[in-house]
Structure 1
């Protein structure tokens, strides 16, 4: 790590313009990124708890965020960022009692968070039609990659804000699929924070206790602390599957006039199982002789079931202002995850008339070590009347995976009248390997303000990545693969005087492709053109965004038309569409949020017989509407209620488009009452208890979505 740190610092300094050596005096410099920059039309939101302007990592006051660094790695107004993005703060998370990161994003445009149904193990999601769970999850701006079953999952209660960035992201973050990313900004210390303790109880014997406390460790405020944690003891909508968790996240911040150091750590221990099942279309989507398969059926074996994950991390965010115009930042983290998992799951009907399901088994034991570091030098300078915010940097990732997985079979199970204790067959090794992944990237971005209206953003990045694999199924045979790629991006915004900001952007991505046998492949690439507009009302808090996009994923592997035993990278998938999202607080007590997404996805080049088809699990239309109102006066002051509706359009259940999953409309609702520091809330998800299929991976693998779930909460804040 030390060599990467030194290399990053050196390269960042080399990239800096001559103004670094001749930094202007404080009297001559432009204001830093925590202040209002000249030419910004929209005043930043004031965070009353700190008495400071909102920053990219501070709490969101209310429901409308104004600042973010996820798209640019600089503290930039969201309305002036030439990319489509959404930010969900803690107030919104709490108002809907979102239990997971994906729950928090269910009312955002462009994302499909229920990819494999109701699942307590992983965060599965697609953005703009592309699966992002392996490479699209980030914590505090640093990637948390997954490989096999060695997958991190983030706790929503530990999030200060959850940010969704749509489209290719490689210039800022390196290798990633082209759909976008989800960045969880974790809770960290700040002055005069509101402490809380909370208790929850709800459906499926759900019980949870949580706390979030912090403040000044030293009276002058130079050292701050925060401690966030929870204990959850819960069942699930699937019989015999629990969802238990211990989470604790201590953090510490030291700061003076020009330097700050924030230490962020967490420990998480999950015990759960296979809650989503694998079920056939007959009995879920289509009628079956014995009726619909029950939503709560457990298709596994109690003696061969369990998912246990332990994950930890320790990292820091360091920042130093050399002057008001030059800031160096270094973010680093070590993370570890261990997964021990065994399960039996459905693999199609054995006898549909008898109601018996065939079953397969999985046994896996995996762990991952991840070291990530990102060095940034932000320099602000002028050339004539043009203002520049130049970001240069280098980042490095080092992942070590130890993976084992084996498959087998189990005796049939009657899903209408299950009797457990069946036989478990002999397991056959699927893979047993050790993988080392490394990536080094050098990047630069310039945000150029020509005047109070026009801002041009240009960026480029060069990446080098390599993979080494030791295959224990082949007596430790070693293979290696090296890739490199250049990615670019550009964006242009025009800031009007009445809050409307049209923009145009272009962005690229790359993502390495795993070798298959003796074949080695080039990285997949992605390119997106996006045109849109953002509008901030002048008379009340709000942000309304609209975006048109055309996104291409290239170098997709497909059959070699000459040799059916080999593959070629001539495949392409196109995703284009329209997104509309708005959050408004038109007057005190009322907040409303709406979104609509149209996605026209198509396999445009393919040798597998799917050219012209729609990729599986990509609905053309999704929409949502949610609102909350709280009384501001009278004897019932502090009482409020909310409601929401979510629409998921029909989608194909396999690559050949042989069947469709019906559209679904879901209702959510809640009531809450706040008085004398206490908050009482009752929230219901899928209020009508709709039985619905979220997606399928073929005719024998369909997944039920979340049924009606009710959670009651009591919080005390001081």
Structure 2
């Protein structure tokens, strides 16, 4: 009996082996026209309906094919589909390679969309206008991928995202309404899909992560990316677009303080040929707070369409609505004359019963791309934004030394409109042995912001102030506000001085010259910008300037490069000089050196950079002004300098790491004669001297627990000078900050379960500033501490289903 059993088993195995030998395999490699591997390209066998996608190196394989004839088709968004007929014989392996007719820039959206398990992105988005891998660019650019956002359960721009970028920190202004990011000594510009989306000092509304694909942080000025702004850099939010891959995901999140959230991502080809693509991203959440009477409810709706008009022309349209209903702006703030964190972490100055602040944020983008050939491409795009806000802000009108406060509520109705346009050309040509990467274009925009902040109301009376040690949240002593909204917002904003507008137009050209088979690259660029802007109802201020850019990058080998860059940016200023000289814009100049390296075939990357930014021509009031005079003088010079290090990627199979460190120092280096408001060596607030962050995750690759993982991360900031800095008076300066997070997860091809604990050590964490003289005239030395506390230890659990 045993002999028969062994015989049957042997016969079965032999039959299977014989059958397998009759099967064939098609494999190959797909590359771009410039020789780079094309990752995550769809490969389909028409006759069998089998399909696969290429890996990071552009390789693919389809096995277990019966002898016969097959048609191999490759396709991706933005490239021309190709077919090849292949005949397979018994047991044969056939190599079928493809060279796509577009360069790597046309493939970057597919590459980014496909890398769902990667922390490292090697290519910039098309909206940054660069036509080269990040490794070759003479600029420090760090990208936070979609997978990082999911792993860390980030749901908005202000939700712990900055731990993934060296030297970036968030200032506390207005809580979760706006994300003010400080980097390299000052606030950086907020971009969306390559457009500058700042229409007032505080904007834009924090993006919900449901419609965000990834976020790029560009260190230092980059004139071809923004027309005018601070030289510290920018962050560019890249929204999700159709990929040409039929897929979808629905997720549910619950968390501490009544967080309930649902998000949907549906990506589909409308037509079988893949010419018309559709994607819908939407989310809805209710969210409470560890502080009483506080909430932040939102929903987001973001559809997008793309259509391949011809084999060379594609048009993409996007729309996003963000609706927010939250406690009055300013509810996060705490004030005390006694020092930071001297009140309970869950203490609030908010008055229950105040109406919610309501916001509708609309944005639309239209992008047209035309590829003349494999080397030349033109892009035209427009953006429109309409931001509508009806609500209140809170800020005390008096902070007394006896720990009582007069709480004040002000109206804050606002409307913002932006109309923006861009056109640029990317090209590549050879002259002799020199490779030229050309970028040329122009952009312009018109921005208008108006706000009524001219009405306010004290909730408390001088005879019945709010006692922070015995708070009474009943009916306020002075009653609730009843603001007058009978006039139009435009009329009220004009009366309140709440008008901000800007018009700008710029043109730029850049040539990156590649020598010695493109190992050495010299970038020469210039940009002309004209700006006309006015603030708070004042007279228009005009500025125009040509900003140069010179960069040098050298590839030591295929995985390492050195770079150096000199760049400028400028900001127009309002002021009249007594000597009649021209009022020059505030100019920022950046000097930077850096080294980049990819490790283990590009699975992870490190970047180290050193920089020095000089700000010149900044104006302040002339101290010699006589009665009725309003002249300005040039302050002198400010300097920000530092070192930054970033590491990100997959170190070994299943082990992913993000780690970074930055040293930042900002000081006054020159002071003009007669300036008494500052002195040489004085710290210029807007940074933390030492920032270090890490996020480490490990996923089991085999066994019964395959897909199970653990993650942990920390953020540490020392020497914080974010809003104010008081020199050696340590009690007025922010203490060091340390936050520890961690979690567990499990995933397979269809399901992911993710649970994270934030602020594991349950520390009293906060950021803030020390104010002197604001509330205590004439005794201006009596200062007030203001801070915003972060949540105690809290939890989130997410379940996502992919289909």
TM-score range, shorter chain: 0.7 to 0.9
SS of the residue corresponding to residue 103 of structure 1 reads coil
Aligned to 1:587: 652
- Give the whole-Å Cα distance in 2 for the aligned partners of 1:469 and 1:83: 32
Aligned to 2:393: 343
Pick from 288, 305, 326 the counterpart of residue 272 of structure 1.
326
Asked if residue 101 in structure 1 is aligned to residue 101 in structure 2, the reply is: no
Asked if residue 372 in structure 1 is aligned to residue 420 in structure 2, the reply is: yes
Aligned to 1:84: 140
- 1:262 to partner: Cα distance: 0.7
Contact 1:150 1:367 in 2 (8 A): no
Q: Deviations over 1:276-309 (max 9, x none)?
A: 63334655526xxxxx312222212223353221
Aligned to 2:340: 285
Contact 2:577 2:632 in 1 (8 A): no
Aligned to 2:85: none
- 1:449 to partner: Cα distance: 1.2
Asked if residue 622 in structure 1 is aligned to residue 691 in structure 2, the reply is: yes
Asked if residue 35 in structure 1 is aligned to residue 32 in structure 2, the reply is: yes
Q: Deviations over 1:396-440 (max 9, x none)?
A: 111122222126433132334421222268989983344431100
- Give the whole-Å Cα distance in 2 for the aligned partners of 1:656 and 1:540: 45
Q: Deviations over 1:91-143 (max 9, x none)?
A: 110000112224363223444333007822111110111012xxx11111111
- 1:162 to partner: Cα distance: 0.6
- 1:447 to partner: Cα distance: 1.6
- Give the whole-Å Cα distance in 1 for the aligned partners of 2:154 and 2:643: 26
Aligned to 1:331: 381
Aligned to 1:596: 661
Pick from 314, 320, 336 the counterpart of residue 260 of structure 1.
314
Q: Which moved more, 1:194-203 or 1:103-112?
A: 103-112
Aligned to 2:588: 526
Contact 2:541 2:573 in 1 (8 A): no
- Give the whole-Å Cα distance in 2 for the aligned partners of 1:269 and 1:514: 35
Aligned to 2:290: 237
Contact 1:592 1:627 in 2 (8 A): yes
Q: Deviations over 1:339-364 (max 9, x none)?
A: 22313334664244xx4233233211
Aligned to 2:86: none
Aligned to 1:507: 567
Pick from 536, 540, 551 the counterpart of residue 613 of structure 2.
551
Q: Which moved more, 1:113-122 or 1:123-132?
A: 113-122
SS of the residue corresponding to residue 353 of structure 2 reads helix
Aligned to 1:647: 716
- Give the whole-Å Cα distance in 1 for the aligned partners of 2:785 and 2:126: 39
Aligned to 2:451: 403
Aligned to 2:168: 112
Asked if residue 146 in structure 1 is aligned to residue 146 in structure 2, the reply is: no
- Give the whole-Å Cα distance in 2 for the aligned partners of 1:557 and 1:691: 39
Q: Which has the larger radius of gyration?
A: 2
Q: Deviations over 1:526-547 (max 9, x none)?
A: 0000001000014450110000
Contact 2:542 2:572 in 1 (8 A): no
SS of the residue corresponding to residue 497 of structure 2 reads strand
Change (3 A) 1:344 1:400: closer
- Give the whole-Å Cα distance in 2 for the aligned partners of 1:395 and 1:358: 47
- Give the whole-Å Cα distance in 1 for the aligned partners of 2:590 and 2:726: 26
Aligned to 2:362: 312
Alignment RMSD: 2.8
SS of the residue corresponding to residue 649 of structure 1 reads strand
Pick from 123, 132, 139 the counterpart of residue 67 of structure 1.
123
Aligned to 2:554: 494
Change (3 A) 1:485 1:110: farther
SS of the residue corresponding to residue 157 of structure 1 reads helix
Contact 2:382 2:420 in 1 (8 A): yes
Contact 1:171 1:509 in 2 (8 A): no
- 1:35 to partner: Cα distance: 2.4
- 1:524 to partner: Cα distance: 1.4
SS of the residue corresponding to residue 539 of structure 2 reads strand
Asked if residue 578 in structure 1 is aligned to residue 643 in structure 2, the reply is: yes
Change (3 A) 1:578 1:435: closer
SS of the residue corresponding to residue 68 of structure 1 reads coil
- 1:456 to partner: Cα distance: 1.3
Correspondences of 1:662-701 after superposition (within 5 Å): 662-675=735-748, 677-696=750-769, 698=771, 699-701=784-786
- Give the whole-Å Cα distance in 2 for the aligned partners of 1:402 and 1:504: 42
Aligned to 2:501: 436
SS of the residue corresponding to residue 184 of structure 1 reads strand
SS of the residue corresponding to residue 279 of structure 1 reads strand
Change (3 A) 1:631 1:248: same
Change (3 A) 1:242 1:371: same
- Give the whole-Å Cα distance in 1 for the aligned partners of 2:249 and 2:366: 25
Change (3 A) 1:35 1:161: same
Contact 2:575 2:632 in 1 (8 A): no
SS of the residue corresponding to residue 146 of structure 1 reads coil
- Give the whole-Å Cα distance in 1 for the aligned partners of 2:33 and 2:763: 48
Q: Which moved more, 1:99-108 or 1:77-86?
A: 99-108
TM-score under structure 2 normalisation?
0.78
Q: Which moved more, 1:547-556 or 1:565-574?
A: 565-574
Q: Which moved more, 1:706-715 or 1:202-211?
A: 706-715
SS of the residue corresponding to residue 302 of structure 1 reads coil
Change (3 A) 1:231 1:491: same
Contact 1:667 1:687 in 2 (8 A): yes
- Give the whole-Å Cα distance in 2 for the aligned partners of 1:306 and 1:574: 42
Change (3 A) 1:44 1:596: farther
Q: Deviations over 1:222-242 (max 9, x none)?
A: 111000000011112322111
Contact 2:252 2:800 in 1 (8 A): yes
TM-score under structure 1 normalisation?
0.87
- 1:674 to partner: Cα distance: 1.3
Aligned to 1:23: none
- 1:325 to partner: Cα distance: 2.5
* Unaligned runs of at least 5 residues, structure 1: 1-33, 287-291, 472-477
Contact 2:138 2:565 in 1 (8 A): yes
Aligned to 1:635: 704
- 1:676 to partner: Cα distance: 5.5
Contact 1:550 1:576 in 2 (8 A): yes
Q: Deviations over 1:190-230 (max 9, x none)?
A: 12243100111101100011100011000110111000000
SS of the residue corresponding to residue 79 of structure 1 reads helix
Change (3 A) 1:552 1:56: farther
Contact 2:604 2:650 in 1 (8 A): yes
- Give the whole-Å Cα distance in 2 for the aligned partners of 1:407 and 1:596: 45
- 1:562 to partner: Cα distance: 2.1
Contact 1:150 1:366 in 2 (8 A): no
Asked if residue 460 in structure 1 is aligned to residue 457 in structure 2, the reply is: no
SS of the residue corresponding to residue 91 of structure 1 reads helix
Q: Which moved more, 1:513-522 or 1:614-623?
A: 513-522
- 1:470 to partner: Cα distance: 8.7
Change (3 A) 1:370 1:191: same
- Give the whole-Å Cα distance in 1 for the aligned partners of 2:576 and 2:764: 39
Structure number with higher relative contact order (C-alpha < 8 Å, ≥ 6 residues apart) = 1
- Give the whole-Å Cα distance in 2 for the aligned partners of 1:148 and 1:527: 22
Change (3 A) 1:426 1:696: farther
Aligned to 2:61: none
- Give the whole-Å Cα distance in 2 for the aligned partners of 1:521 and 1:361: 38
